Structure 1
Amino acid sequence: MKKLSFFDKIIFLLNTLAALVLIISLLAPYLSTKLISSLSVVSLIVPFIVIFNLIFAVYWLLKKKRNFLLSGTLLLLWYLLLGPFYQISNGNDDSNIDNEKSFSIMSFNARSFNELRQLEDDNIESRIYEFVTKHNPDIVCFQEAYYAMKRNDALSQYGYKFVDFIYGKHQGKVIQAVYSKYPIVKIDSIPFPKSSNNAIYVDILINQDTVRIYNVHLQSFRIVPGLNTIQNEESTKLFEKSRSVMLKQYEQANSIRENMEATSYKKIVVGDFNNTQYSNVYHKIKGDLNDSYLEKGKGFGRTYEVLKFPIRIDYILADPEFEVLSHQNYDERLSDHYPIMATLRLKSHQ
């Protein structure tokens, strides 16, 4: 075998480093964040690491070198174990959707309906209401809702709602809300210690079945997704901040999981996890639930962007007793997040 040139040796060294990071990312989802909090941060950059390894694999293939097996094998394991961040076909079959037996659920981090004027548009609130009305989901879960929703009559087509806000002085707590066309028979919340975030849940009566729906907003990294932010922040401080957030998310995920295990109801979890599908946090909450994007999604499944790269940090996860009929990502720029919607049907109602 012909020896590698000096340039190829440098390439192989970089390839080895990228492969090592990918190996760590393969392990991170299955190891407790509390045990490997420093390594868990790798889950945030998995799409980039996968792309790097793909480039290296193609490079060696074009050079007809067996070195492609290093990244190639790891990429195969990544795909089989953790699932893709891009899907070619969604498999949606609208003809298979019986509106009497199925229901749709939307999740959307609305960033307080632009209350702080992050977007230069005076009509964001009305546009969000118009967007929801147009797509007409049976259930809508907002993260970072608007406190005025507690008492206004917007989205009046929904006969039931739970806006998790206590009247009085606003203390900076992030507000979650659920609007439903089906009766809500119970409401409650799961507080997160030392955090402005939380999760709420509602028990909803759907065709004589009680379903518990969790609306989740995990701890945010509060890092503006721009290159200047990353350049200006000291790398050690940025890493430590990310590690600290991962630990908080892990504690919050455990609280949600404990509540989920304490109920016998069929469960649906939606919301903003502020983390990728390659994290231990995501896998802790997901358990055996089905991810609507992995079942029926297509493309990148973008719900957020970092450095203009589409990533998925918002999810709809459904109990295995639900069949996922469709999943839709929307492109409307009404927040820093993009809304998602899924159509589900209980398998017992087929």
Structure 2
Amino acid sequence: MFLVASQISESAQLQAFRSLYLIFGFRRVLVSLNNDDMTLRMRVGQLIAFFFRSLLWSINLLLVLYTCIAYWLLYSLQIEHWSASMIMITLPVAWLLNLIVVCLWLMARPWRSWLSGAVVLIGMLLFGSRTFVWHSPLEIKGRGTPVKVFSYNVQSFDLNESWEFYQSSPRIRRTDNYVLRYDAPIKCFQEFYNSTSIPDYDIVKRFRKAGYRYSVLLYPERALVADGDIGVAIFSIYPIVQFGREQFGGSNGIVWAHVKIGNDTIRIINVHLHSMGIRVGKVLDQKGMKGVQRETRGVLSALHSGFTERKNEVDKIEQYIRKSPYPVIVTGDHNDTPYSVVYERMRRILPNSFEDAGRGFGFTYNRLPGYIRIDHQFHDPKLPVLNFETINYIRYSDHYPIVGTYLIK
């Protein structure tokens, strides 16, 4: 019995070992298959990651090349074609995209982030003062008279609808009262409007009663009619001993005045150049793709004509600056950003007041896209700027007022 039981036990043990061997052997096969499957998925994932990294690196190289071309165009002004202006004006967008690329590389391949990072750093060194500055107001040292020059595109004082010509509007009255009461002896306006039919809106007459006895208007005859689109205007408490004007068409143009301050005389040039034509709001308001395409084509066409017209207009401004027998201050709505042919050419003749004495970004446009500075003041080095301010809490118009304080020695 014992022998039979022993033989049975050995047979059962052998069978059990065979079963375990088969089981474990099958598991090894499954593990091997699972490892092959995981390896395949890893390889596919690595291939996809490699593709996107290569794509990002290619885009990165193109973006860096585009940014460097914008640097060269803006720094050298070798080409003043409208297409070159289009590249220059997109420089802040190129900086933003480069910073996004830097962040992406920091998460994937940190060593590759240096390229876009270096390009942005070079741009800040070359053009950073056009973008962001932080100066404290300067104290008057020595003898001299501080004089404020106020400039504001008033958008026709919001008198754009015919029905408003014949009734009172609290918003318009607030705008009128603000520009009349702001404490500055020299005030320059673009898109200036006057209406003799309503006493509140007879702004020219009200300025004279407020002490601004001297003025130069682009269309002086329109100050005598019921609905007068005057355009560009200068008002001064100080005597204006000589003046001139040149019309570009519509409300755009140049007016200049020789202002006598004590024993000194300076030339104030107030300009309103051709519109930029950026109407982002109209594009966004479209509900259908056809409307978006139509408005986009309109914006591009306006940009094209604007770049061409402003290039010709800045030629005339340069002549008024170079022929002036007195130190010059140029102010107004230039309708061009600090990354443009107009700005660079003006900057090569006269220092920019925002760069010398401003604070922050100095954005002056109160509509979409918003984050642009298109109203500028340039000053003669003989008239040092003590302070420059963008009054961005005054939202009566589609522009913010700007004001520079200059020392008349």
Confirm or deny a common fold (TM above 0.5). yes
Instruction: Name the CA distance, whole Å, in 2 between partners of 1:265 and 1:133.
Output: 28
Question: Deviation at 1:325?
Answer: 0.9
2:205 is matched with 152
Aligned counterpart for 1:328 among listed residues 389, 392, 395: 389
Summarize the alignment of residues 38-117 of structure 1 with structure 2, pairs less than 5 Å apart.
Answer: 38-63=83-108, 65-84=110-129, 86-87=131-132, 89-93=134-138, 96=140, 101-117=145-161
Question: Deviation at 1:7?
Answer: 2.3
**Helix, strand or coil: the match of 1:311?**
coil
Question: Deviation at 1:33?
Answer: 8.7
Cα deviation 1:270-319 (Å, max 9, x = unaligned): 00111101101112223231212111212220100453442100011111
Summarize the alignment of residues 1-350 of structure 1 with structure 2, pairs less than 5 Å apart.
Answer: 5-30=50-75, 35-63=80-108, 65-84=110-129, 86-87=131-132, 89-93=134-138, 96=140, 101-117=145-161, 122-148=169-195, 151-154=204-207, 156-167=210-221, 175-192=231-248, 196-226=251-281, 227-228=283-284, 231-233=292-294, 238-305=299-366, 307-330=368-391, 331-346=393-408, 349=409
Moved more, 212-221 or 164-173: 164-173
**Helix, strand or coil: the match of 1:154?**
helix
Query: As a proportion of its length, which structure holds more helix?
Result: 2
Larger Rg: 2
> How many pairs align?
343
Moved more, 65-74 or 254-263: 65-74
Cα deviation 1:136-181 (Å, max 9, x = unaligned): 0121100010134575223613232222224268999661111112
The alignment's TM-score, normalised by the length of structure 2, stands at 0.74
Work out whether residues 190 and 256 of structure 1, in 8 Å CA contact, stay in contact via their aligned partners in 2.
Answer: no
Work out whether residues 219 and 249 of structure 1, in 8 Å CA contact, stay in contact via their aligned partners in 2.
Answer: yes
Instruction: Name the CA distance, whole Å, in 2 between partners of 1:115 and 1:195.
Output: 16
Work out whether residues 278 and 303 of structure 2, in 8 Å CA contact, stay in contact via their aligned partners in 1.
Answer: no
Question: Deviation at 1:81?
Answer: 2.3
Counterpart of 1:167, as a letter, is E
Work out whether residues 85 and 341 of structure 2, in 8 Å CA contact, stay in contact via their aligned partners in 1.
Answer: yes
Work out whether residues 150 and 165 of structure 1, in 8 Å CA contact, stay in contact via their aligned partners in 2.
Answer: no
Moved more, 101-110 or 214-223: 214-223
Counterpart of 1:278, as a letter, is Y
Work out whether residues 218 and 253 of structure 2, in 8 Å CA contact, stay in contact via their aligned partners in 1.
Answer: no
2:27 is matched with none
Moved more, 276-285 or 28-37: 28-37
Instruction: Name the CA distance, whole Å, in 2 between partners of 1:216 and 1:268.
Output: 11
Work out whether residues 388 and 404 of structure 2, in 8 Å CA contact, stay in contact via their aligned partners in 1.
Answer: yes
Work out whether residues 218 and 274 of structure 1, in 8 Å CA contact, stay in contact via their aligned partners in 2.
Answer: yes
Work out whether residues 106 and 341 of structure 1, in 8 Å CA contact, stay in contact via their aligned partners in 2.
Answer: yes
Q: Per the alignment, do residues 250 and 32 of structure 1 end up closer, same or farther by CA in structure 2, a change over 3 Å counting?
A: farther
Which runs of no fewer than 5 residues in structure 2 stay unpaired? 1-45, 196-201, 287-291
Q: Per the alignment, do residues 328 and 265 of structure 1 end up closer, same or farther by CA in structure 2, a change over 3 Å counting?
A: same
Q: Per the alignment, do residues 130 and 172 of structure 1 end up closer, same or farther by CA in structure 2, a change over 3 Å counting?
A: closer
Percent sequence identity is: 29
Moved more, 44-53 or 127-136: 127-136
Instruction: Name the CA distance, whole Å, in 2 between partners of 1:326 and 1:332.
Output: 18
Which runs of no fewer than 5 residues in structure 1 stay unpaired? none
Instruction: Name the CA distance, whole Å, in 2 between partners of 1:50 and 1:8.
Output: 20
Counterpart of 1:163, as a letter, is L
Which of 1 and 2 has higher RCO (CA within 8 Å, sep 6+)?
1
Q: Per the alignment, do residues 265 and 51 of structure 1 end up closer, same or farther by CA in structure 2, a change over 3 Å counting?
A: same
Instruction: Name the CA distance, whole Å, in 2 between partners of 1:142 and 1:293.
Output: 18
2:32 is matched with none
Work out whether residues 303 and 312 of structure 1, in 8 Å CA contact, stay in contact via their aligned partners in 2.
Answer: yes
Counterpart of 2:147, as a letter, is F
Counterpart of 1:200, as a letter, is V
Moved more, 204-213 or 246-255: 204-213
Cα deviation 1:13-51 (Å, max 9, x = unaligned): 333333233223223335559742212112333322222
Instruction: Name the CA distance, whole Å, in 2 between partners of 1:173 and 1:133.
Output: 18
